[in-house]
Amino acid sequence: MRAAIIEGDGIGKEVIPEAVAILDYFNETYDWGIEKVPVEVGLGKWEKTGSAITDDDISLLKTCNLILFGAITTVNDPSYKSVLLRIRKELDLYANVRPILPISGIYKLLKIKDHKEENVNIVIVRENTEGLYSGVEEIGAEKSMTTRVITKRASERIAAFASNLASARKNKLLVVHKSNVLKSDKLFLDTCRQTAESRGVDVSDKLVDIFAYDLIMNPEKYDVVVTTNLFGDILSDLGAVLLGSIGLAPSANIGDNQAFFEPVHGSAPDIAGKGIANPIAAVLSLKMMFDYMGKTREACLVSRAVTAAVADKIVTPDLGGKYSTKEVGDFILSKVRQLD
Ligand code: ATP
Ligand code: MG
Which amino acid is residue 48, in one-letter code?
K
| Rounded average pLDDT over 57-78 | 93
Torsion of CA 191, 197, 201, 206, to 10 degrees: 50
| Rounded average pLDDT over 203-221 | 97
Q: Is the pLDDT of residue 136 over 90?
A: no
| Ligand 1 centroid – CA 14 distance (Å) | 13
- Determine the Cα–Cα distance for residues 102 and 175; give it in Å rounded to an integer: 22
Taken in order 224, 160, 96, 76, is the CA torsion positive or negative?
negative
Q: Whose CA is nearest to atom 10 of ligand 1?
A: 266
Burial 187-213 (b: 16+ CB within 10 A, else e): ebbebbbebbeebebebebbebeebbe
Which amino acid is residue 96, in one-letter code?
N
Q: Is the pLDDT of residue 91 over 80?
A: yes
Which atom of ligand 1 lies nearest, measured to the CA of 264? 11
Q: How confident is the model at residue 178 (pLDDT cuts 50, 70, 90)?
A: very high
Q: CA distances (Å), 37 to each of 19, 32, 67, 234, 250, in order?
A: 15, 15, 9, 32, 21
pLDDT for the residue 79: 75
pLDDT for the residue 134: 85
pLDDT for the residue 135: 81
Cβ 129 under 6 angstroms from ligand 1: no
pLDDT for the residue 76: 83
Reading phi first (left if > 0) and then psi (alpha if -120 to 50, else beta), residue 136 is in beta
Cβ 166 under 6 angstroms from ligand 1: no
Q: Whose CA is nearest to atom 6 of ligand 1?
A: 268
Q: Is the pLDDT of residue 82 over 90?
A: no
Cβ 246 under 6 angstroms from ligand 1: yes
pLDDT for the residue 77: 81
Pick from 14, 46, 74, 271 the residue to mutate for probing ligand 1's pocket: most ligand atoms within 8 Å of its CB. Answer: 271
Q: Whose CA is nearest to atom 17 of ligand 1?
A: 268
DSSP letter string over 266-331?
A: ---TTTTTTT----HHHHHHHHHHHHHTT-HHHHHHHHHHHHHHHHTT---GGGT----HHHHHHH
| Rounded average pLDDT over 277-298 | 98
The model's pTM is 0.95
Strands 202-207 and 250-254: unpaired
pLDDT for the residue 80: 79
| Rounded average pLDDT over 308-332 | 97
pLDDT for the residue 282: 98
Q: What is the overall mean pLDDT for the chain?
A: 95
CA 53 to the chain's CA centroid: 21
**CB contact at 8 A, 72 and 262:** no
Cβ 71 under 6 angstroms from ligand 1: yes
| Rounded average pLDDT over 34-45 | 95
| Rounded average pLDDT over 61-85 | 89
- Domains in the chain with CATH codes: 1-93+249-340 (3.40.718.10), 113-243 (3.40.718.10)
Ligand whose nearest atom lies closest to the CA of 266: 1
ipTM: 0.95
Pick from 265, 267, 319, 328 the residue to mutate for probing ligand 1's pocket: most ligand atoms within 8 Å of its CB. Answer: 265
| Ligand 2 centroid – CA 245 distance (Å) | 14
